[in-house]
Amino acid sequence: MAYSPLTLRIVTLLPSATEIVCALGGQDELVGISHECDFPPRIQGLPVLTRARVGALCTSKGIDGAVRDVLADALAIYELDVELLETLRPDVIVTQDLCDVCAVSIDDVRAAVARLARQDVRILTLHPMQLADIWADIEQVAEVIGRTEERRIVIDGFERRVADIAKRAAETSTRPSVISIEWIEPVMIGGMWMPELVELAGGQPLVTAAGEHAPTLTLEQLSALDPDVVVIKPCGFSLDRALAERHVLQRVLPWTSWKAVDEGCVYVADGNAYFNRSGPRIVESLEIMAGCVHPEAFPELVAKHAGEVRRVARGLSVLPFESNGPDVA
């Protein structure tokens, strides 16, 4: 069932869903969001319906341990404010059923909706595994919230930008091997749509293929690899927060043996705003990846995203995205 934007009340329970709704022009129908929704800026001040059971922790290792403890106790990572949800009277709730660590569990959402007095609330569940699924999710959201005219404009624009990068990348003479790192400690390798981003950017993804979940690799397993490029973008970490853990890289990665380290091709990016959100900014994520894999072919993208990416030298000094070549400092 599609709704009229004139009367629609939308709740989004994950950041990518919020960004999709806003990209389609539905921001004025948003009445509630999750605690992690922070973009676009005009959503600030909307009622927040979720909170994390895991408190604010400084390190990726600490967060990983706390999450595992919560899951071991058979608890959900996030809590949903059911009373506020009832007050907001949503017509549509957009959530996901892909990962209980990424958003409120779908079972909790269904249970909350069952408690509402109204029985006509639509739960729209996103399940993106690859880039095509992200476009399909945008189509689905547009259909449900009555933004069918906007969806073609939005998706066509994204697809043109992706095709342009892929065409230019295909014209390069090399295909560097790439490891994308989803989490620092333990080291998790990017899966799902991440290998597609690497391939579109003109690289060869190591470890994972499109649609696969992110595996955890030991130092021994990582030592069997020798990537040309390493892109580190921990899920939920801003650039500054990820850089704060760069000292860990010498311990968890084969730092002294990887050619990417020696050649100055270890990049740290904002993994909160980009890469891990399966929404409109996945195109900007591809732009960043292209700048990391082939900086010589995409100088304008390196300049565009200079604020979201840094290089980490062998001696752990932080260098600008724009600079190239090895640096042992």
What mean pLDDT comes out for the span 321-328? 67
Q: What is d(CA 31, CA 46) in angstroms, rounded to the nearest whole number? A: 6
Under a CB-based contact definition with an 8 Å cutoff, are residues 205 and 178 in contact? yes
Count of Cβ atoms closer than 10 Å to residue 209 Cβ? 10
Share of the chain above pLDDT 90, in %: 79
Predicted confidence (pLDDT) per residue in 195-230, tens digit = 999 999 999 999 999 999 999 999 999 999 999 999
Establish if 138 belongs to a structural domain.
Answer: yes
Of 103, 131, 146, the residue at which a domain comes to its end is: 146
Establish if 2 belongs to a structural domain.
Answer: no
Establish if 163 belongs to a structural domain.
Answer: no
Of 146, 161, 192, the residue at which a domain comes to its end is: 146
pTM for this model (two decimals): 0.92
pLDDT for the residue numbered 266: 98
**Residue 286, amino acid:** L
Instruction: Say whether both 68 and 181 belong to one domain.
Output: no
Instruction: Say whether both 35 and 82 belong to one domain.
Output: yes
Instruction: Say whether both 117 and 232 belong to one domain.
Output: no
Q: What is d(CA 145, CA 151) in angstroms, rounded to the nearest whole number? A: 11
Instruction: Say whether both 207 and 118 belong to one domain.
Output: no
Instruction: Say whether both 108 and 193 belong to one domain.
Output: no
For residue 221, give the CATH number of its domain.
3.40.50.1980
What mean pLDDT comes out for the span 7-33? 95
Residue 5 has pLDDT above 80, yes or no: no
pLDDT for the residue numbered 62: 80
Under a CB-based contact definition with an 8 Å cutoff, are residues 103 and 128 in contact? no
Predicted confidence (pLDDT) per residue in 18-28, tens digit = 999 999 999 99
| Residue 6 tokens, joined | 């004139």
Instruction: Say whether both 101 and 206 belong to one domain.
Output: no
Instruction: Say whether both 42 and 119 belong to one domain.
Output: yes
Q: Tell me the residue range of the domain where 234 lies.
A: 173-320
| Residue 247 tokens, joined | 């000292």
Q: What is d(CA 120, CA 123) in angstroms, rounded to the nearest whole number? A: 10
pLDDT for the residue numbered 74: 43
What mean pLDDT comes out for the span 159-172? 97
Determine the angle formed by the axes of helices 15-23 and 131-144, rounding to 10 degrees.
60
Establish if 166 belongs to a structural domain.
Answer: no
Could you tell me which residue, 5 or 266, shows the higher pLDDT?
A: 266
Predicted confidence (pLDDT) per residue in 108-130, tens digit = 888 888 888 777 899 999 999 99
How big is the CA angle at 211 (ends 207 and 214), to the nearest 5 degrees? 50
Residue 57 has pLDDT above 60, yes or no: no
Band of pLDDT at residue 104, cut at 50, 70 and 90: confident
Establish if 153 belongs to a structural domain.
Answer: no
Q: What is d(CA 67, CA 38) in angstroms, rounded to the nearest whole number? A: 22
pLDDT for the residue numbered 165: 98
Instruction: Say whether both 135 and 178 belong to one domain.
Output: no
| Residue 316 tokens, joined | 């752990």
Band of pLDDT at residue 244, cut at 50, 70 and 90: very high
Counting the structural domains of the chain, the total is 2
pLDDT for the residue numbered 72: 57
Q: What is d(CA 229, CA 328) in angstroms, rounded to the nearest whole number? A: 16
Of 127, 146, 165, the residue at which a domain comes to its end is: 146
What mean pLDDT comes out for the span 78-91? 93
Instruction: Say whether both 231 and 282 belong to one domain.
Output: yes
Instruction: Say whether both 238 and 142 belong to one domain.
Output: no
Could you tell me which residue, 52 or 67, shows the higher pLDDT?
A: 52
Phi, psi angles (nearest 5°) of residue 260: -60, -35
Residue 329 has pLDDT above 90, yes or no: no
Instruction: Say whether both 313 and 186 belong to one domain.
Output: yes
Q: What is the DSSP letter of 254?
A: -
Residue 54 has pLDDT above 80, yes or no: no
Predicted confidence (pLDDT) per residue in 259-304, tens digit = 999 999 999 999 999 999 999 999 999 999 999 999 999 999 999 9
Instruction: Say whether both 253 and 212 belong to one domain.
Output: yes
Whole-number average pLDDT of the chain: 91
Band of pLDDT at residue 155, cut at 50, 70 and 90: very high
In which element (H, E) is residue 17 found?
helix 15-23
Establish if 274 belongs to a structural domain.
Answer: yes
Establish if 328 belongs to a structural domain.
Answer: no
Q: What is d(CA 185, CA 187) in angstroms, rounded to the nearest whole number? A: 5
Establish if 325 belongs to a structural domain.
Answer: no
